[in-house]
Amino acid sequence: MNALFDFKTEARYSFSVNWSAEDGEFVGLCAEFPALSWLDPDSDKARSGIERLVFEVVQDMSSTGDVIP
C-alpha cells in the first residue's frame, strides 16, 4: 500500500495556503509546481490537498522518468 504522503516531499517543497476571494475558498499552492492548486473551504484541507496532489505528481513523474523539481 502506498503512503498518502511522504514527509520528505513536504520538506523539499514550499507549500502555502491563501484565501481566494474569486473562488470563495482557500487555495493550496506549491511554489515548485505553479500549475497545481487545491481549493477547499477549509484551510487545513486545502493544505493537505495540495500536499497529496504534489506527492501523486512526483510519484507519477518518477515512474515515467521525468525530471522532478
Question: Per-residue pLDDT for the chain (69 aa), expressed as one digit of tens each?
Answer: 344 555 565 578 999 999 999 999 999 999 999 999 999 999 999 999 999 999 999 999 989 999 889
Residues of the domain holding 44: 7-59
**What pLDDT does 2 receive?**
47
Whether 43 and 26 have beta carbons less than 8 Å apart is answered as: yes
Asked if residue 19 is part of any domain, the answer here is: yes
Asked if residue 65 is part of any domain, the answer here is: no
Instruction: Compute the distance between CA of residue 10 and CA of residue 8 in angstroms, rounded to an integer.
Output: 5
Asked if residue 33 is part of any domain, the answer here is: yes
Per the structure, how many domains does the chain have? 1
**What pLDDT does 11 receive?**
76
Whether 28 and 49 have beta carbons less than 8 Å apart is answered as: yes
Asked if residue 2 is part of any domain, the answer here is: no
Asked if residue 11 is part of any domain, the answer here is: yes
Asked if residue 43 is part of any domain, the answer here is: yes
